[in-house]
Structure 1
Amino acid sequence: MGVMIDNMSAYAQGDSTRNIWLPVVAYAVLLFVNGDAGIGWIRKWLWLPLEQRSYVALSTASQAHIMSLSSDFHESDNKNTSDLMQAATTGRSVIDLLETICFQVVPMFVDSVIAFGYLWFLFGPFMGLIVATTFFSYLYITAKFIAATAEQRRQYTAVHRKEYIVGHQSLESWNIASLFNMIPHEQQRYERAVNSHMSSKRIQEFSSQYMNAAQSLTMTCGLIGGLYLATFQVAKEGKSIGELTTFLAYWAQLQGPLFFFSSVFKTIFHRLMDAERLLELFKMKPTVTDTPDAKPLALRKGEIKFDHVSFAYDVRKPILKNVNFVVPAGKTVALVGPTGSGKSTMLKLLDRFYDVKSGCISIDGQDIRAVTLKSCSLRDNIGVVPQEPMLFNDSIMNNIRYARLTASTEEIHNACRAAALHDKIMTFPDRYYTKIGDRGVKLSGGEKQRIAIARAILKRPEIILLDEATSAVDTETEHTIREGFKKLCEDRTTIIVAHRLSTIMQSDRILVVIDGEIIEEGSHHELIRARGKYHDLWSKQVFVEPEVEQPNPVISQTADCILINDLGADDDGSRSRRMRQC
């Protein structure tokens, strides 16, 4: 630009030897090359593949890492799905950080060095001193302000995340909020979160404005000093107007990188703070992992053995205490007892969601801690029907096929017939392709549980775990499902957890679990004759005193009594009683 102005000035004063068009063309070419059609396009062409690969790598790595964490994380009080999603989203700002450093910070730094060197060469060491003083003062003020507002930024990140969490939770809990007429409360709760976010952001913005004012003052002082020196040299030392224009152009070139460095430094700092939560997640390690010498499970018969097993979620409250029992291959064992006695925990330990604190659980003599969790091993051989089936917002067909992705449509239909679900599905408008809503909200409790049962039947595992599998179905459906279970559990090792004792009367063995200990075991009739805890549970559930003199008691047809059994839940959620006149 300086050469162009000097040539034009000389040409205007009559010096026809000066070429005025070449500097103009060169200046236009340099502007084009420096724009988005030149260097900017090349930068984007080089960065785009790296950006996409980085995004894929970070996104899949964060999701895979969270999914690999053990149950003690996923079932902890500190886990919040909304928070995890927000952490993964904000954590991806690291990708933008890489782009900023590679394609903006480095080129800008090179530009600054060139501008600094040229001004030193053109106007001498005093100009270099002014430029260097301005440069480092600017960066020092920026660093101090950003460090001073670090805690404010953390608070802002926290309230921003809270706004997202509250909004997500309100949408997820719309059903319960409507039932309790708490939608206005949810609106107020979200409004408070938004106001907190805006209040914190306002503080952030004012702090940023103070920093901008200090930076502007520093640049103005530097410009005044440099302009005074350049003007003096033009007036007293013969420097040209073009060289003065060059100084102003390079000062602008220097000012741009300084503003940019300030912005980048703040951006880097903020993005690293935004990524703190994701980095914390990456530091977490799964507690249940394959040992270095783990081998695939060699399932032969399916015998399960609990050998002096003890366990506690919290060391202050033991859940299981020295539990010992064996489930012979192909047999059915039922676990009964009050809520919180440790029955479902035994199933979690067998499926290795947690590792035992002491003792050993083995399948066919193999400690389950020494077999692989994946690669066609432990969990591939176990089918589970949980207390609360987890369903996806997808079709019934895809929810059932989730148990075995290669299953054919006919196999899915057969599994549903065995679970007494096929006829019900055929009454839906879209039949097997009916969308069931988030977590299956469009289905009744019994229908959801039967889908979980159909999944287990479709999987065709060698070991079956039923955790209150018929707790949400009516009596008639329960009878139908039990017929399906006979096919499912035939020649398969089965453990049943049940509160409705009518569902486990035919089990080969019944274990009564109280406070994490097995206090009674035997068949149904043996436990009734023993008149212990199982006898009490049975009496309370059927409301009559059972006959104990005969193995198969027959109540007199003339006895004036009523047997009330099966206090279960029908599909519509009502409580039903099956009454038989004796």
Structure 2
Amino acid sequence: MKELKYLNKYLLKYKWHLILGTVFVIISNVFQIVPAQLVRSALDLVVENIRVHKALNGVSAQNTFFEVFAHGILIYAGLIVLMALLRGLFLYFVRQTLIVMSRLVEYDLKNEIYEHYQALPLSFYRRNNTGDIMNRISEDVSRVRMYLGPAIMYGLQLVTLFVMLIPVMFSISSTLTWYALSPLPLLSLSIFLVNNKIERRSEQIQKHQSKLSTFVQEAFSGIRVLKSFNRENESIKNFTKESDDYKHQSLKLTKVQSLFYPLIMGLIGLSTLLTVYAGSVEVIKGTLTFGNIAEFIIYVNLLTWPVTSLGWTTSLVQRAEASQKRINEFLNTSSNIVSQKNVERELQGKIEFKKVAFTYPDTGIKALKDISFTVNPGESLAIIGTTGSGKSTVSNLISRMYDVREGEIRIDDVAIQDYNLTSLRSQIGYVPQDVFLFSDTIHNNIGFALDDVSEDRIHQAAKDADVYDNIMAFPNGFTTRVGERGITLSGGQKQRVSIARAIVREPKILMLDDALSAVDTKTENTILNSLKRIMVGRTTIIISHRVSSAKLANKIIVLVDGNVVEEGTHESLLEKNGMYRDLYEKQNQTEEVAE
């Protein structure tokens, strides 16, 4: 229960749900116990008065006696029905308090986890896979809810019913009570063991279900590749194998589940037999009545489900504890990207790197080595280099996805760690190398960066990114849904929508991380011409492996393995006959061949 202590703050928050739920459980138990006593009284009434009725055979008073006798039985029957209806009403109240409480806590916990996820740095997402992150906010929270709802509800029912019922049973007959209760511990233990086996096999089924789902998702996502390589039959064979494994695990679970109810019914039957046997002995002795036997049989049946549920709820608590431990691992993970002085100010756009070296904490790869450069407000810098040279790391550091441990980064002569994160990032427009579009309309994807943005501003951003005509060519224009990860758009269209999303917020600092890699030369030139106007008055970082994108920049640096090997303007670098010139000539030759 140590890990589950984290949930105490929520139990305290919804304490009135818990208190009222407990009260309603107690009241519903009262309406369970009283009918058994009414049955006892009714049976005793029948047994005692049936002899009198027979003795009055042939006497005129017999009919009158029967009417009175039958009226009394009807009153008992009506009271029993009334008790059942009242119990049903209060069980409804129990669920409207305890189960509702569990749903409210589930809602709060999911929001807390999701909010915490948003605050965690990029390194967290590089260390953990998406499936595991998703499971902790869905499957694990659902298991915790089962502890907060059903486990607490049935636990309260068991405790309160035992506290209320056992003294009543012992007050009638301690011998009969011991006989009636003797099989119940065995029942609870058996259910616990069987349920644990069911849980383990259920988890195996879940794992196979996940593998099967992943296989199907990959097959459909890569259907073009499957068809291109004519591997449909191989895919069907693999699916059949995964499906057979799932079937095998399901059949193993079914075999265990088939023991569940026979075991329950067998032990309940044993308890009933012992009650009837011991009760009959007491009736013969004259210490108990037939009504007492019927009353005890009802009591045994009342205790059966709470005792049966003890094994189940114990398993629920164990699963919840394991799930909450997994949740706590992430909740206890704190972000190392924090603001030192929480500075909030409008940026001018000066960026300065002073002897910056950076090693990715999750991989140990040293991406930058002693990098220094300065970009003044309104100027532009192009960072050119081959794959793995450290270009994208620069953009990650400027947007504070990571913090440097060696050297210093300053923006407007203020250490970047001093800025309020929200304020800093809200003034940076970033076009990532790996374009991601949400499964939404083009309009909402472009306007994603702002809470309230005008139509004109979105349309202008689309025009500046040279994607406006493409959008208007769609039947639904800007209301066209782009599908999962923007699948309905071409690579170039996705990149241009991503550029429009970055510039619609009119950022002080604009970073283009290989943003034109998926467009052809003609489209690239059109976008670059638009960017000339966009870049006026704002600091721009152009990260690219294509020299053609660097021409717009006031200054160019060339990175190789995290080191600056060349620095200057386009013209001055061409004169040096260095790496930049080699890249320029090779790319020009490639473009001429392509033409």
* Band of TM-score, shorter chain: 0.7 to 0.9
- Verify the 8 A CA contact 2:44 2:291 in the aligned structure 1: yes
Give, as a single letter, the amino acid of the residue that structure 2 aligns with 1:3. Answer: S
What is residue 13 of structure 2 aligned with on the other side? none
Q: Does 1:65 align with 2:87?
A: no
What is residue 110 of structure 1 aligned with on the other side? 160
Q: Does 1:33 align with 2:80?
A: no
What is residue 254 of structure 1 aligned with on the other side? 303
The 1:218/1:41 distance shift into structure 2, 3 A limit, reads closer
Q: Does 1:233 align with 2:286?
A: no
Give, as a single letter, the amino acid of the residue that structure 2 aligns with 1:254. Answer: L
- Verify the 8 A CA contact 2:151 2:316 in the aligned structure 1: no
- Verify the 8 A CA contact 1:385 1:467 in the aligned structure 2: yes
- Verify the 8 A CA contact 1:123 1:230 in the aligned structure 2: no
Q: Counterparts of 2:181 and 2:289 in 1: how far apart (Å)?
A: 24
Q: Does 1:12 align with 2:60?
A: no
Q: Counterparts of 1:296 and 1:180 in 2: how far apart (Å)?
A: 56
Aligned residues: 540
What is residue 427 of structure 1 aligned with on the other side? 473
Q: Does 1:323 align with 2:371?
A: yes
What is residue 304 of structure 1 aligned with on the other side? 351
Instruction: Name whichever of 442-451 and 214-223 sits farther off.
Output: 214-223
The 1:418/1:144 distance shift into structure 2, 3 A limit, reads closer
- Verify the 8 A CA contact 2:375 2:381 in the aligned structure 1: yes
The 1:278/1:208 distance shift into structure 2, 3 A limit, reads farther
The 1:34/1:108 distance shift into structure 2, 3 A limit, reads farther
Q: Offset of 1:409 from its aligned partner?
A: 0.6
Q: Offset of 1:244 from its aligned partner?
A: 1.5
Q: Counterparts of 2:217 and 2:136 in 1: how far apart (Å)?
A: 14
Q: Counterparts of 2:268 and 2:347 in 1: how far apart (Å)?
A: 80
Map 1:154-165 to 2 at 5 A: 154-165=203-214
Give the alignment's TM-score, normalised by structure 2. 0.82
SS at match of 2:553: coil
Q: Counterparts of 2:49 and 2:516 in 1: how far apart (Å)?
A: 99
Q: Offset of 1:203 from its aligned partner?
A: 3.4
Q: Counterparts of 1:254 and 1:394 in 2: how far apart (Å)?
A: 54
Q: Counterparts of 1:256 and 1:286 in 2: how far apart (Å)?
A: 44
Match of 1:513 among 551, 559, 574: 559
Give, as a single letter, the amino acid of the residue that structure 2 aligns with 1:302. Answer: G
What is residue 441 of structure 1 aligned with on the other side? 487
What is residue 21 of structure 2 aligned with on the other side? none
SS at match of 1:44: helix
What is residue 332 of structure 1 aligned with on the other side? 380
The 1:157/1:369 distance shift into structure 2, 3 A limit, reads farther
Give, as a single letter, the amino acid of the residue that structure 1 aligns with 2:542. Answer: I
Q: Counterparts of 2:240 and 2:451 in 1: how far apart (Å)?
A: 44
Match of 1:85 among 125, 129, 134: 134
- Verify the 8 A CA contact 1:119 1:128 in the aligned structure 2: yes
Q: Offset of 1:517 from its aligned partner?
A: 0.7
Map 1:353-364 to 2 at 5 A: 353-364=401-412
Give, as a single letter, the amino acid of the residue that structure 1 aligns with 2:148. Answer: L
- Verify the 8 A CA contact 1:92 1:275 in the aligned structure 2: no
The 1:186/1:40 distance shift into structure 2, 3 A limit, reads farther
Q: Does 1:352 align with 2:420?
A: no
Map 1:401-412 to 2 at 5 A: 401-412=447-458
Match of 1:343 among 381, 384, 391: 391
Q: Offset of 1:309 from its aligned partner?
A: 1.5
Give, as a single letter, the amino acid of the residue that structure 2 aligns with 1:226. Answer: T
Q: Counterparts of 1:440 and 1:524 in 2: how far apart (Å)?
A: 35
Q: Offset of 1:151 from its aligned partner?
A: 5.4
Q: Counterparts of 1:128 and 1:459 in 2: how far apart (Å)?
A: 76
The 1:57/1:179 distance shift into structure 2, 3 A limit, reads farther
The 1:436/1:154 distance shift into structure 2, 3 A limit, reads closer
SS at match of 2:381: strand
Q: Offset of 1:502 from its aligned partner?
A: 1.8
Instruction: Name whichever of 14-23 and 299-308 sits farther off.
Output: 14-23
Q: Counterparts of 2:104 and 2:250 in 1: how far apart (Å)?
A: 32
- Verify the 8 A CA contact 1:11 1:20 in the aligned structure 2: no
SS at match of 2:187: helix
The 1:179/1:458 distance shift into structure 2, 3 A limit, reads farther
Deviations 1:151-187 (A, max 9, x none): 5565444334434444444444445444444455555
Q: Counterparts of 2:230 and 2:136 in 1: how far apart (Å)?
A: 32
What is residue 499 of structure 1 aligned with on the other side? 545
- Verify the 8 A CA contact 1:498 1:504 in the aligned structure 2: yes
Unpaired stretches in structure 2, ≥5 consecutive residues: 1-38, 54-64
- Verify the 8 A CA contact 1:299 1:363 in the aligned structure 2: no
Q: Counterparts of 2:225 and 2:328 in 1: how far apart (Å)?
A: 34
Deviations 1:238-273 (A, max 9, x none): 421111111222122222322232333334444555
Structure richer in helix, relative to its length:
2
Q: Counterparts of 2:238 and 2:343 in 1: how far apart (Å)?
A: 50
SS at match of 2:439: coil
Instruction: Name whichever of 193-202 and 102-111 sits farther off.
Output: 193-202
Give, as a single letter, the amino acid of the residue that structure 1 aligns with 2:41. Answer: V
Q: Counterparts of 1:181 and 1:282 in 2: how far apart (Å)?
A: 46
Instruction: Name whichever of 388-397 and 109-118 sits farther off.
Output: 109-118
What is the percent sequence identity of the aligned residues?
26
Q: Offset of 1:52 from its aligned partner?
A: 4.3
Q: Offset of 1:475 from its aligned partner?
A: 2.4
Deviations 1:443-500 (A, max 9, x none): 2222111111111221100011111122222222222211211111112111111122
Q: Offset of 1:235 from its aligned partner?
A: 1.1
What is residue 312 of structure 2 aligned with on the other side? 263
Q: Counterparts of 1:143 and 1:128 in 2: how far apart (Å)?
A: 23
Instruction: Name whichever of 407-416 and 474-483 sits farther off.
Output: 474-483
Q: Counterparts of 2:239 and 2:119 in 1: how far apart (Å)?
A: 32
Q: Offset of 1:4 from its aligned partner?
A: 0.7
Map 1:546-557 to 2 at 5 A: none
Unpaired stretches in structure 1, ≥5 consecutive residues: 544-563, 568-575, 578-582
Match of 1:42 among 82, 93, 103: 93
The 1:48/1:115 distance shift into structure 2, 3 A limit, reads closer
Give, as a single letter, the amino acid of the residue that structure 2 aligns with 1:380. Answer: S
Q: Counterparts of 2:137 and 2:506 in 1: how far apart (Å)?
A: 36
SS at match of 1:92: helix
Q: Offset of 1:511 from its aligned partner?
A: 0.7
- Verify the 8 A CA contact 1:157 1:274 in the aligned structure 2: no
What is residue 550 of structure 1 aligned with on the other side? none
- Structure of greater relative contact order (alpha carbons < 8 Å, 6+ residues apart): 2
SS at match of 1:512: strand
Give, as a single letter, the amino acid of the residue that structure 2 aligns with 1:41. Answer: Y
Q: Counterparts of 2:483 and 2:260 in 1: how far apart (Å)?
A: 50
Q: Counterparts of 2:568 and 2:239 in 1: how far apart (Å)?
A: 55
Q: Does 1:97 align with 2:147?
A: yes
Map 1:355-504 to 2 at 5 A: 355-374=403-422, 377-504=423-550
Q: Offset of 1:215 from its aligned partner?
A: 5.5
